[in-house]
A and B are shown apart, each in its own frame.
Chain A
Amino acid sequence: MPVLLALLILFVLGSRRAREPPVDPQPAPIVHSPLVPVLLQHGATAVAEHGDVSSVIFGWSAIAVATTLFGLTYALIMTERFNRANVAMLAAGLMVLLGVINQHQAVVGVDFNTIGLLIGMMLIVAVTRETGVFQYLAIWSAKKVKAKPWGILLMLAVVTAVTSAFLDNVTTVLLIVPVTLVLTEELEVPPYPFLFAEILFSNIGGTATLIGDPPNIMIGSQVEYITFLDFMVNLGPVVIVVMIATIFPIWLIWGRKMTASDEARQRVMEFDEKAAITDKPLLVKCLVVLGLVTFGFIVGHPYGFEPATVAITGGALLMILSNLGRKIDEKNERTHHFFGHVEWTTIFFFVGLFIVVAGVEHAGLLNMLADEIVERTEGDRAAISIAVLWVSAIASAIVDNIPFVATMIPTLKTVIADLGMSQSDSMALWWSLALGACMGGNGSLVGASANLIVAGFAERAGQRIKFTTFMLHAFPMMLMSIAICHVYITWRYL
């Protein structure tokens, strides 16, 4: 229901502006990804050759077409009757075919920094998972709480949050969820509460650092004066409070009723965590590369090395290291195997979604939303910060937070410049955006990439997570976390 309400608001805003005199659509912020310089150069020529791109067929209003496509895309995804990637790709194609954007704008709309980061980390995970280190960690945690289901849920949630802060969320859930499914199957308990907690804690934990979540990566990348340490010092404390607060509703809904037979717990206690480490030399290589990649994330930014570059380079290096001493045929076969572990369906879903959002953005819908925030707050810093926090959270639960943040960063930069805010005064706005966008991702299954990855795992394991069921549980908890952030931002920065 909140999604429908928000969509309705977006549509009403779109219809209202559509009747007003024509507005020049603002171009999408160009992401200076190291992966697309050739495309950008080519695209610049394409625009010059083909002129204005918002010439929608049949004289329809670009904003009406974009809003309708956007609404239909999300409605179809919510029905769960179609594959998400298929829907997003079809909608992306229609955005171009109906003339809302041209192909160049569609390509520029895709955040290749995020796509590259995801693919790079998926490749690193594909190699690292063979060592069994995360199975070791999960089983060790489970045995520490004597295989009690609630204790395991808590331990895995904390492990997920801490890991998410230093690896990206997708990597974390790719490593933790499979072993969670083994544990819940052996305990004969439903896996949903565990997966639910892991989704929430991966997004909450990821909020704590610059590299923990794609919105933070983008903010850290595009706002020059915010450092890695700033993120930890400013967002770390509230992340811990939100984690503690989120535990209570999970306990109330599932935790207090969680039981497992002594026999089932005994089976888990008999797991041999040391046996999980299957390849020690490979584990050393993985830890070295993971260390280098984390180091690259932390120090690379001032030198212009974006996370995609670091992750893709790390993935390639690790594949080469893991193949050392093998024959070329075996190297080729293993490389093919590692690439097979990239979640291409998720990657293409993101590509499609980026293009759909680029269409909505080019049509002016998201900018109108941002304009409304500034207008309604009358340039008041406190009001803007709180509005950014809540709007980011609600929007991030509906649309993916990555394209949303990509839109908000230049908008906020303009607002900060217009209002003549100092760097220290502007921090409240950036932290509001980071907290709202990262934690808002918990509001629905499409709110963050990690959510979709977990849903994919659950589906393959025969435990499908329904869009509406998840939202019913997650959305109120997301609102609670944003209320806590609201108090924190007001107390510390306003």
Chain B
Amino acid sequence: MGEAIGILVARRFRSVPVVDDAGKMIGQFGVHALLRMMVPRIATERLGLPHLPFVQDDLEDLRRRLRRFWDKPVGEYAERDYFVVHPDTPLTKTVLSLYHTHDNLPVVDRKTGQLLGIISYWDIVQRLLN
């Protein structure tokens, strides 16, 4: 987890794909999951406590909560609900997915689930401008 957080912070990615040993995509880890780890878990769950005005905490408390996850494998906390595109996905559909997710999209082989690359909105815009 610590390594994944390091990559997110260093490269300013919103999320990174998580793959298994065979390179098959199993989930996505990003700032959303990262922020969730900094607060009591029930605050981010349905029917939980969306606001915690009574909790008087500081930076050290956020760090303490995050530290619990630091040595855990990222696969355990990767989000399973994510958008992907395939090499043959039409461009309009890809742009719409980028529009909905505000994030880069993993490109995954349709048959094997193998991660082939990542497409960003900048990739498309740059091609258009060129």
**Chain B binds chain A:** yes
How many angstroms between the C-alpha atoms of A181 and B55 in the bound complex?
Answer: 13
Residues of A within 8 A of B56 (CB): 270-272
With A457-B47, A460-B48 as known contacts, state yes or no: A278 contacts B53, CB within 8 Å.
Answer: yes
Q: Interface readout for A174-186 with B: 1 if CB under 8 Å, 0 if not?
A: 1000110110011
Chain A to chain B contacts (Cβ below 8 Å), 7 pairs: A129-B49, A132-B53, A181-B48, A182-B49, A182-B55, A185-B42, A460-B47
Query: Least Cβ distance of A139 to chain B in Å?
Result: 6
**Residue of chain A at shortest CB distance from B48:** A178
Instruction: State whether A462 touches B54 (Cβ < 8 A).
Output: no
B45 within 8 A of A: yes
Q: Which of B42, B48, B54 is in CB contact (< 8 Å) with A273? A: B54
Contact partner of B42 (CB less than 8 A), chosen from A271, A343, A461, is A461
Decide: B42 and A275 in contact? CB cutoff 8 A: no
What mask results when residues 94 to 124 of chain B are scored 1 for a CB within 8 Å of chain A, else 0?
0000000000000000000000000000000
Q: Which of B47, B48, B51, B57 has the largest count of A CB atoms less than 10 A from its CB?
A: B47
Any A CB within 8 A of the CB of B23: no
A341 interface residue (CB < 8 Å to B): yes
| A275, B55: Cα distance in complex, Å | 9
Contact of A174 among B40, B45, B47, B53 (CB under 8 A): B47
A271 touches B49 (CB 8 A): no
Compute how far the CA of A166 lies from the CA of B46 in the bound complex, rounded to whole angstroms. Answer: 25
Q: How many whole Å from A429's CB to the nearest CB in chain B? A: 38
Find chain A residues with CB under 8 A from B61 CB: 267
Is A185 a contact partner of B41 (Cβ separation < 8 A)? yes
**A178 to B50 CA separation, bound complex (whole angstroms):** 10
Nearest A-chain residue to B42, judged by Cβ: A181
List of A residues within 8 angstroms of B51 by Cβ: 132, 278
Residue in A129, A186, A273, A276 whose beta carbon sits within 8 Å of that of B40 in the complex: A186
Chain A proximity of B92: nearest CB distance (Å)? 30
In this assembly, does B129 line the interface, its C-beta being within 8 Å of a C-beta of chain A?
A: no
- A contact face: mostly helix, strand, loop, or mixed: helix
The residues of B that contact A178 with a CB separation of less than 8 Å are 42, 47-49
Interfacial residues of chain B within 40-81, with CB under 8 A of chain A in the complex: 40-43, 45-49, 51-57, 61
The residues in A between 131 and 163 inclusive whose CB is less than 8 angstroms from any CB of B are 132, 135-136, 139
- With A and B bound together, what is the CA distance between A461 and B46 in angstroms? 10
Interface, chain A (partner B; CB < 8 A): 129, 132, 135-136, 139, 174, 178-179, 181-182, 185-186, 267, 270-273, 275-276, 278, 341, 343, 457, 460-462
The majority secondary structure among interface residues of chain B is loop
For residue A136, which residues in chain B have a CB less than 8 angstroms away from its CB?
Answer: 54
Q: Given the known A-B contacts A181-B40, A270-B56, A272-B56, are A461 and B47 also in contact in the complex, defined by CB atoms under 8 Å?
A: no
Residues of B within 8 A of A457 (CB): 42, 45, 47-48
Q: Give the nearest-CB partner of B49 in chain A.
A: A178
A275 touches B54 (CB 8 A): yes
Residue of A nearest to B46 (CB): A460
A341 to B46, CA, bound (A): 8
Kindly list chain B residues whose C-beta atoms are within 8 Å of the C-beta of A460.
42, 45-48
Q: Which of B43, B45, B55 contacts A271 (CB 8 A)?
A: B55
> In the assembled complex, how far is the CB of residue B69 from the closest CB belonging to chain A, in whole angstroms?
11
Contact A341 B42 (CB under 8 A): no
Are A182 and B45 neighbours in the complex by a CB distance under 8 Å?
no
Q: Are A182 and B42 in contact (CB under 8 A)?
A: yes
> Would B54 and A461 count as touching, CB distance under 8 A?
no
Given contacts A185-B40, A186-B40, contact A272 B54 (CB under 8 A): yes
* Contact residues in A for B55 (Cβ distance below 8 Å): 182, 186, 271
Name the distance in Å between B10's Cβ and chain A's nearest Cβ. 28
Q: For residue B43, which residues in chain A have a CB less than 8 angstroms away from its CB? A: 182
List 19 additional A-B contacts (Cβ < 8 Å) besides A181-B40, A267-B57, A273-B54.
A135-B49, A136-B54, A178-B48, A181-B41, A182-B42, A182-B49, A182-B52, A271-B54, A271-B56, A272-B53, A275-B53, A278-B51, A343-B47, A457-B45, A457-B48, A460-B42, A460-B47, A461-B41, A461-B48
> CB-CB < 8 A to A273: which residues of B?
54
Closest 9 CB pairs of A and B: A181-B42, A276-B54, A460-B45, A275-B53, A178-B49, A182-B40, A270-B56, A271-B54, A275-B54
Residues of chain B lying within 8 A (CB to CB) of residue A182: 40, 42-43, 49, 52, 55
Residue numbers in A under 8 Å from B48 (CB-CB): 178, 181, 457, 460-461
A188 to B40, CA, bound (A): 11
* CB–CB A461/B45 < 8 A: yes
The chain A residue with its CB closest to the CB of B77 is A462
Q: Which of B45, B54, B57 contacts A135 (CB 8 A)?
A: B54
Nearest chain A CB to B25 CB, angstrom units:
23
CB-CB under 8 A from A186, the residues of chain B are: 40, 55
Which of chain A's residues have a CB closer than 8 A to the CB of B46?
Answer: 341, 460
Q: Which residue of the partner chain B has the closest CB to A278?
A: B53
A341 to B50, CA, bound (A): 12
Q: Which residue of A lies closest to B47 (CB)?
A: A341
Cα A275 to Cα B57 with chains together (Å): 13
- Report Cα–Cα, A341/B47, bound state, in Å: 6
How many angstroms between the C-alpha atoms of A278 and B43 in the bound complex?
15
Contacts of B40 in A (CB 8 A): 181-182, 185-186
Which residues of chain A have C-beta atoms less than 8 A from B52's C-beta?
182
